């Protein structure tokens, strides 16, 4: 029986090995058992040399413990991403955001490529396309944080030997705009203008609280009066508000911090305490509705006239309008006084937070304390502020030395 098996030949008289067959349609096939799954698998080829090249690859995959199951081989990047997401414990808002980004950016571009056929060039070409379309490096980096770990899981599962996304991010995308903190002079001009303005003075307490606490925009608009302990001068931060479509239409949602570092109790300065007291008076004066509820939270500190929480973009809009009004007045004043106008830069809620962090660092606050107050998950983020300060101070010190040097010509 063994001799008969070994004597099998194709129409050209070539001996066929175990598992090989010649089919009546002219193709060749090779049947084998995947030792990992126990399933019988079959591959096909138009001629015998092509079939034996496939056999070599299968043998190498088996030696390297790589799965050879045909169903696995057909898996696309889209399917892999879905499997990867099923392994992650994520907040609903984060999961929906990841899925939205994938559907809008990745799914139709490279999502249908089979994982086993995915090459580094596929991913680099995709990132290059995004870069040419004007996407920021940070956006491309965010996409890579979904593609890379999904493919890394495929490596761990022995579907592929190495991750084609490794080292692919490079410097694709336009660089992020550097967000500078306000200088002390700019901060003073901003606050004084708001304080004296008949139009914007109701925002004075909010701006004072932003600079005095370093709250994120979502944390600021999510503050309720239950979070504010004026007697103990403490501010409890354990949630934020987001305005997104989480499958039920665009509306406010309360969200807990992604890491434990986001949960904190911030001590108030006397100035911040007074700002909260002033804000309470403003809310009472405008008789704002306290009953509006978002996921169990009510009695929001900062609201629109309706009592509804401020929109995230609403906070930035307020800041943009204030800066615009200041700069228009400054241009007029400078013209009358025959001097160059000293304009304020564009200011956002993030710049206000960065300014708060910078002021605290300038006071030489302990770096671990500053990390806690800012809610930074990693101290590297806090260190960047300190390093920037140190660089600036060294430059200023070296320039100041010139005042003490006699320059001889």
CA dihedral of residues 117, 123, 124, 128 (deg, nearest 10): 130
CB atoms within 10 A of CB 289: 15
Q: Would residue 290 be called left, alpha or beta, if left means φ above 0 and alpha means ψ between -120 and 50 degrees? A: alpha
**What separation in angstroms does the CA of 213 have from each of 269, 298, 311, 347?**
9, 21, 19, 17
Q: What are phi and psi of 405, to 5 degrees?
A: -110, 130
What element of type H or E holds 119? none
**292 within 8 A of 307, measured Cβ to Cβ:** yes
Buried b (16+ CB within 10 A) or exposed e, 28-67: bebebebeeeeeebebebeebeebeeebeebeebbeeebb
Active site residues: 216, 258, 350, 353, 376, 386
Between helices 184-196 and 312-336, what is the axis angle to 10°?
90
| Beta strand spans in 127-167 (E) | none
Collapsing DSSP to helix, strand or coil, 368 comes out as helix
Distance CA 171, CA 178 (A): 16
Q: Give the Cα-Cα-Cα angle 72, 77, 83 (nearest 5 degrees).
A: 70
Q: Quick one: which of 303, 277, 278 has its CA closest to 289? A: 303
**What separation in angstroms does the CA of 5 have from each of 2, 28, 56, 134, 313?**
5, 16, 21, 63, 76
Distance CA 216, CA 240 (A): 8
């Amino acid at each position: 029986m063994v001799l008969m098996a070994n004597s099998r030949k194709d129409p050209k008289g070539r001996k066929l090995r175990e598992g090989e067959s010649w089919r009546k349609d002219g193709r060749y096939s090779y049947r084998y058992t995947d030792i990992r799954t126990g399933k019988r698998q079959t591959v096909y080829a138009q001629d015998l040399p092509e079939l034996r090249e496939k056999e070599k690859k299968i043998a190498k995959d088996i030696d390297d413990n790589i799965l050879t199951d045909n169903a696995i081989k057909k898996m696309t990047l889209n399917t892999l991403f879905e499997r990867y997401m099923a392994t992650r414990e994520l907040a609903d808002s984060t999961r929906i955001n990841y899925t939205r980004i994938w559907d809008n950016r990745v799914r139709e571009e490279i999502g249908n490529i089979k994982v086993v056929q995915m090459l580094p060039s596929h991913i680099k070409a995709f990132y290059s396309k995004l870069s040419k379309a004007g996407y920021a490096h940070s956006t491309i980096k965010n996409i890579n944080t979904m593609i890379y770990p999904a493919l890394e899981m495929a490596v761990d599962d022995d579907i592929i030997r190495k991750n084609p996304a490794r080292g692919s991010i490079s410097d694709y995308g336009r660089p992020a705009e550097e967000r500078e903190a306000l200088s002390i002079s700019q901060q003073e001009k901003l606050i004084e203008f708001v304080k004296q303005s008949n139009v914007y003075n109701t925002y004075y307490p909010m701006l004072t609280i932003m600079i005095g606490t370093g709250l994120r925009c979502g944390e600021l608009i999510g503050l309720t009066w239950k979070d504010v302990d004026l007697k103990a001068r403490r501010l409890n931060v354990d949630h934020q508000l987001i305005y997104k479509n989480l499958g039920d239409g665009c509306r406010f949602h309360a969200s807990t911090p992604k890491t434990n570092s986001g949960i904190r109790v911030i001590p108030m300065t006397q100035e911040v305490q007074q700002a909260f007291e002033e804000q309470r008076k403003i809310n009472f004066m405008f008789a704002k509705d306290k009953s509006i509820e978002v996921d169990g939270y009510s009695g929001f500190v900062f609201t629109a006239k309706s009592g509804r929480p401020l929109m995230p973009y609403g906070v930035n809009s307020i800041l943009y309008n204030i800066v615009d009004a200041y700069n228009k007045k400054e241009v007029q004043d400078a013209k009358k006084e025959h001097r160059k106008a000293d304009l304020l830069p564009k200011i956002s809620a993030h710049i206000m937070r960065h300014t708060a962090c910078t002021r605290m660092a300038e006071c030489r606050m302990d770096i671990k304390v500053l990390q806690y107050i800012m809610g930074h998950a990693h101290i590297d983020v806090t260190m960047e502020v300190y390093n920037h300060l140190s660089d600036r101070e060294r430059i200023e010190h070296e320039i100041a030395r010139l005042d003490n040097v006699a320059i001889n010509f």
